Amino acid sequence: MQEKKIHLFFLIRSLNVGGAERQLVELAKGLSKANFIITVCLFYNEGALLKELCGICNVRIITLDKSGRWDIIRFFFSLIHILKSLNPQILYSFLPEANIAGLIAGRLSGVKRIVWGVRASNMDVSRYDWFARMSLRLSAFLSKFPDAIIANSYAGKEFHRGIGYSTNRMMVIPNGICTDRFKPDHLSGLGVRDEWGIDEKTVLIGLVGRIDPMKDHKTFLHAVKIFDQEGCSVRFVCIGDGKEPYKSEIRSLCMVLGLNDSLICAGERYDMAAVYNAMDIVTSSSFGEGFSNVIGEAMACGVSCVVTDVGDSAIIVGETGVIVPPKDPQALADGWRSMLKHLKDKSYSIKEMARARIVFHYNSEIFVQKTSKRLLSLL
């Protein structure tokens, strides 16, 4: 007799490129092969990651076509109508706005179990608008009502505890990296270098992430300026896009520091496995992270990382990377110098160790299995 499938309903704003969005896609693909039927419901019909779910068996995509921030009443009625008609056993939402909407609509429509996904750590909420701050405060107030909360990092769990979240039903499941997609590929890396006009002998250090205050591009740029003065054959690259006016601030700082000759601003890229393989070092200058997908993906490609000691970054890299304090350009520049020395002395072993650490501890299969076990336990 065939075992009955469980209907799991994911709720998120969009599937634009981002850490939470990437993990939802990995979960949907992985759980759809197990005992789940998946519905992915989006506030907005947008996102480069949408195409990865198209045509996958047991996965359907629904969009609510929210017209903007204040399209609330129609949006809620649409969500409640969909939930009542589909009657999923579990609703799993990601990030504060979706968590709030999912909890209210889910309870009103009679969903059996509601799960929140929380991702942030060490957020400086003063840098965000009033709506984001209000959403975080309201989420903390409502956090006693979901049946489970899944954080993607230990630092994230402590951060949410600190801002008033109930953690009685919160557990940590680290992100999962698709190690079949993110793997060493020297030729693809050479192709990206050729596109950027960088020869194979030049050291390339990259920062990957949305242009957002929490990613602290300013510290990265000041570190580039310090390191550039060393006269080494090194180039730097920034991958990612962001919103105004912060994006213009970063562009202006690049010009003020005179980094145009040493820094490439490549914008958003969708061939990230090749991009990682083009780099000698991937760095994170963030002052707030939970579990950084970028660090895990780069390591899976055999790229060593220099990261700030925030979130679970130090746990992820272990002995394979260099850890530096946040908001310290000199320390970051020194970290790059230290890593280059390590790579020169024993490049092969460090790269192999970096990939092995992700394969054995943070691959997507482990992530899917742990999440499946937690979701099934609710029923």
Distance CA 235, CA 224 (A): 9
Residue 42 has pLDDT above 90, yes or no: yes
- What's the mean pLDDT in 315-322? 95
Which structural domains are found in the chain, ordered by start?
6-176+363-378 (3.40.50.2000), 186-361 (3.40.50.2000)
Residue pLDDT, tens place only, 224-275: 999 966 666 899 999 999 989 999 999 999 999 999 889 999 999 989 999 9
Residue 125 has pLDDT above 60, yes or no: no
Q: Looking at residue 265, what is its pLDDT? A: 94
Alpha helices in the chain (DSSP H): 19-31, 73-86, 96-109, 130-142, 154-162, 186-196, 217-228, 246-257, 272-278, 293-300, 313-317, 329-361, 364-378
Residue pLDDT, tens place only, 77-115: 999 999 999 999 999 999 889 999 999 999 999 999 999
Sheet holding 234-239, edge to edge: 263-267, 234-239, 203-208, 281-284, 304-308, 322-324
Q: How confident is the model at residue 128 (pLDDT cuts 50, 70, 90)?
A: low
Q: Looking at residue 1, what is its pLDDT? A: 39
- What's the mean pLDDT in 293-322? 95
Residue pLDDT, tens place only, 194-217: 999 999 999 999 999 999 998 999
Q: How confident is the model at residue 2 (pLDDT cuts 50, 70, 90)?
A: very low
Percent of the chain scoring above 70 in pLDDT: 94
